[in-house]
C-alpha cells in the first residue's frame, strides 16, 4: 500500500526539528541532504575497560566527546555495538524523545546481561510496530548461546518502524560478529551471518531493510560476500565506489593508526526500496582524542517507495517468529 506526502508534512518536520537534541557547540551538526531523509549511524562504543584510563581513553574520560559526536550527527537512528548500560544511559540523557530496543546479552559466563547492541531511535518520528532478537548460533532462540568456536555469544536485534513523516515502514537490524582472527574467525563469521540472513530473508522484498554493525571483517571476505549475494548493498560503497576507504578500527589513534590491512569493518547495508543519499565515515576528534576506538559510520536514506507495514508483513513473515 503506497503513501503520498501528507499536507501536514512541513509541520511534522518542524516539530521533529524542534525536538531534536542540540549538539555541543564545538561539534557542528551535519546538514541533511533532504528534509525527509532518514539518518542512520552505526557506532561501536568500545566497552568500558579499566586499562584504557592509562592512555586517557577510559569511558569517563571520553564519554562527553562520544555523546557530543553522536549529537552532532543529528541521527534518527543510532545502532550501538559494544554497548553497556552505563554508556547507553549516559548517552540517552541528551536524546530526549528517543527510545531504545535491545535483547540483552551476557558476553561472558556469570556476567550481567547488558544491551550490547542496542538500537536507539527517535520515538518522535517513528512508531515501533514490532521488535525482536536472537543469538547467532545453532540455537538462535536460546539466550547467550554461541557456536562452539566463537569467543563470545553474539546476537542480532531488529525493530520494525513506521515513519510518521512519510508513512513508510522499514526494518532495522543491528549486529556484531565475532572478532577472532584467522580461518577460525572467518568460519565463525560466515555461520553467524548465515543465521541473520536466514531471518532477514523472511521479510517481503518490497519492505525496506537496513543492516548495521561491526562485522569484524572486510568487504572481500566470504561473510560480506554472503550479505551482498543475499541482495544487500553497502551504502558507503554505492556512493563512494568499491575501493576500501581504510580501517574503521583505529585503536584511539585516528589517522596515526598504521595497520592498513584491517580495512573497513563497520557497515550500513540496505535492501529493498531504499535510496542512499549520503554516507560518511565519522572521523570527528578533539585535540587528537576520539570518541571510540572505531570510527562511526553514517548513512542517509529516502524511500524509493513507501509500504504499509501491516499489509507487507503477514503472520509467519516476522523475523524470529515473534508477533505483535
pLDDT at 30: 86
Q: Is residue 66 part of a domain?
A: yes
Q: Which residues in the chain show pLDDT less than 50?
A: 1-25, 322-324
Instruction: Quote the CA–CA distance of 49 and 60 in Å, as a whole number.
Output: 10
CATH number of the domain that residue 94 is part of? 3.60.10.10
pLDDT at 318: 61
Q: Is residue 149 part of a domain?
A: yes
pLDDT at 155: 95
pLDDT at 29: 82
From residue 202, alpha-carbon distances to 31, 117, 196, 270, 317 in Å are 35, 22, 10, 15, 5
Q: Is residue 20 part of a domain?
A: yes
Cβ pair 218, 264 in contact under 8 A: yes
Domain count across the chain: 1
Q: Is residue 311 part of a domain?
A: yes
From residue 274, alpha-carbon distances to 62, 133, 150, 174, 239 in Å are 35, 23, 33, 17, 13
Q: Which residue range forms the structural domain that includes residue 16?
A: 9-321
Q: Is 139 helix (H, G, I), strand (E, B) or coil?
A: coil
pLDDT at 108: 79
pLDDT digits (tens, 9 = 90+) for 281-315: 999 999 999 999 999 999 999 998 877 766 556 55
Q: Is residue 98 part of a domain?
A: yes
Q: Is residue 3 part of a domain?
A: no
Q: Is residue 2 part of a domain?
A: no
Q: Is 17 helix (H, G, I), strand (E, B) or coil?
A: helix
Cβ pair 299, 236 in contact under 8 A: yes
Instruction: Quote the CA–CA distance of 258 and 249 in Å, as a whole number.
Output: 11
Q: Is residue 4 part of a domain?
A: no
pLDDT at 306: 78
Amino acid at each position: 500500500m503506497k503513501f503520498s506526502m501528507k499536507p501536514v508534512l512541513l509541520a511534522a518536520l518542524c516539530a521533529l526539528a524542534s525536538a531534536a537534541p542540540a549538539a555541543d557547540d564545538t561539534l557542528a551538526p551535519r546538514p541533511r541532504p533532504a528534509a525527509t531523509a532518514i539518518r542512520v549511524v552505526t557506532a561501536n562504543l568500545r566497552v568500558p575497560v579499566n586499562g584504557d584510563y592509562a592512555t586517557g581513553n577510559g569511558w569517563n574520560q571520553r564519554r562527553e566527546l562520544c555523546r557530543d559526536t553522536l549529537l552532532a550527527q543529528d541521527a534518527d537512528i543510532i545502532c550501538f555495538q559494544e554497548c553497556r548500560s552505563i554508556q547507553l544511559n549516559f548517552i540517552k540523557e541528551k536524546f530526549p524523545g528517543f527510545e531504545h530496543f535491545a535483547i540483552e546479552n551476557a558476553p561472558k559466563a556469570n556476567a550481567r546481561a547488558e544491551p550490547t547492541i542496542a538500537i536507539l531511535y527517535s520515538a518522535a518520528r517513528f512508531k515501533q510496530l514490532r521488535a525482536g532478537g536472537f543469538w547467532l548460533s545453532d540455537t538462535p532462540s536460546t539466550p547467550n548461546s554461541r557456536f562452539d568456536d566463537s569467543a563470545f555469544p553474539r546476537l542480532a536485534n531488529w525493530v520494525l518502524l513506521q515513519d510518521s513523516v512519510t508513512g513508510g515502514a522499514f526494518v532495522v537490524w543491528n549486529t556484531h560478529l565475532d572478532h577472532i582472527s584467522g580461518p577460525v574467525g572467518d568460519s565463525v563469521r560466515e555461520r553467524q551471518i548465515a543465521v541473520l540472513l536466514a531471518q532477514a530473508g523472511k521479510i517481503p522484498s518490497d519492505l525496506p531493510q537496513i543492516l548495521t554493525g561491526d562485522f569484524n571483517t572486510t568487504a572481500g571476505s566470504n561473510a560480506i560476500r554472503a550479505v551482498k549475494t543475499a541482495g544487500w548493498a553497502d551504502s558507503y560503497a554505492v556512493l563512494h565506489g568499491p575501493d576500501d576507504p581504510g580501517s574503521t578500527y583505529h585503536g584511539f589513534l585516528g589517522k596515526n593508526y598504521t595497520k592498513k590491512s584491517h580495512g573497513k569493518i563497520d557497515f550500513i547495508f540496505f535492501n529493498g526500496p531504499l535510496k542512499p543519499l549520503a554516507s560518511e565515515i565519522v572521523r570527528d576528534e578533539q585535540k587528537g582524542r576520539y570518541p571510540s576506538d572505531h570510527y562511526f559510520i553514517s548513512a542517509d536514506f529516502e524511500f524509493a517507495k513507501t509500504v504499509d507495514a501491516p499489509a507487507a508483513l503477514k503472520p509467519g513473515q516476522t523475523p524470529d517468529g515473534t508477533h505483535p
